[in-house]
Amino acid sequence: MQIIQSNIANLPTKYGNFKIKAYKQNSQEHLALMSENFNPNETINLRIHSECLTGDVFGSIKCDCQKQLELAISYISKNGGMIIYHRQEGRNIGLLNKVNAYSLQDSGKDTIEANLALGFKEDEREYSIVEYILKDLGVKKINILTNNPSKIEFLEKIEKLEIVGRIPTIVEPNCYNKDYLRTKKEQMGHML
C-alpha cells in the first residue's frame, strides 16, 4: 500500500485547537484531526467520519452527516481524541454517482436500491487507511463514536487495538431524512 504522509500542523477551529495530518492513498486524501492534548497512550475518543460533501459542507438535511460531524468535533474538542476524515464520499461510490443515487431516490428508490441500480454494493467503503493512520499515530485504545456496526466490526479486527466503548452519534430525524434513517436502522443494522 503506497501512502504519502504530510507533516503535522496546527489547525485552530471554531470548536478549539486541533493538530492536523494528511495521508494520501492513491487519489484519495484523508485527514487526521487530533485534539491539542492528544496522547496515544490514553484511550482515544475516535470518530471515523465518512466524507459527505453535500451534508458536511452544504448543510444537506437529507442525511445526518453534518450534525454527526458537529457533534463529534464538539465532543472531541471538549474531551480529547481524534477525527479521521475518511474521504470515501457516498459510501465510496464518489460524488457524481451519489448525486445520481439521489436522483433515483427522488423517483422513489431507497438509499440501498439506488446504489444497487447503479451497479454498486450498498456500501463500497474499505478502511485500510484507517488502520494505517491509527498505527502511525500510535493509538492503542479507543472509544468509538458511531452507530454503524460495520465500522466496529472492522476495528475489532485490528491487532493490538482495544475498543473500550462506543459513544452513539444520534441525530434527531427530520422529514427529509426519516426514511433514510429508517433504512439505515432496519436494513443496514445501524444502532439508531
Comparison of 19 and 62: residue with beta carbon closer to Zn ion: 62
Beta pairing class for 43-50 and 3-5: unpaired
Is residue 182 part of the annotated active site? The answer reads: no
Residue 184 binds which of Zn ion, ligand GTP, none (CB < 5-8 A, kind-dependent): ligand GTP
Nearer of residues 50 and 77 to Zn ion, judged by Cβ: 50
Kindly state the number of chain residues that form the binding site for Zn ion, as judged by CB under 5 A: 4
Binding-site ranges for ligand GTP (CB under 6 A): 50-52, 63, 65, 68, 89-91, 93, 98, 101, 111, 115, 146-148, 151, 169, 184, 190
Q: Does 83 bind Zn ion (CB under 5 A)?
A: no
Least Cβ distance, residue 10 to ligand GTP (angstroms): 27
Residue type, 133: I
Q: H or E segment at 120?
A: none
Sign of CA pseudo-dihedral 57, 90, 82, 25: negative
**Active-site annotation holds for 136:** no
Give the Cα separation of 18 and 121 in Å (integer).
35
Which CB, 52 or 112, lies closer to Zn ion?
A: 52
The least distance separating ligand GTP from the CB of residue 115, rounded to whole angstroms, comes to 5
Backbone φ and ψ of 19, nearest 5°:
-105, 145
Helix residue spans in the chain (DSSP H): 53-56, 65-79, 89-92, 95-106, 111-117, 128-136, 149-156, 178-188
Residue 45 contact partner, candidates ligand GTP, Zn ion, none, CB within 5 to 8 A by sort of partner: none
* Catalytic-labelled residue, pool 123, 166, 179, 182: 123
Q: What is the DSSP letter of 41?
A: T
Task: Write down the number of H helices and E strands in the chain.
Answer: 8, 8
The interface with Zn ion within residues 38-67 (CB under 5 A) comprises 52, 55, 63, 65
Report what 50 binds from Zn ion, ligand GTP, none; CB cut-off 5-8 Å by kind: ligand GTP
When the beta carbons of 63 and 171 are compared against Zn ion, the nearer one is: 63
Which H or E element spans position 4? strand 3-5
Residue 51 is classified by DSSP as P
Helix H or strand E encompassing 37: none
- Indicate the annotated binding residues for GTP: 47-51, 68, 89-91, 111, 146, 151
- Residues recognised as catalytic: 123, 125
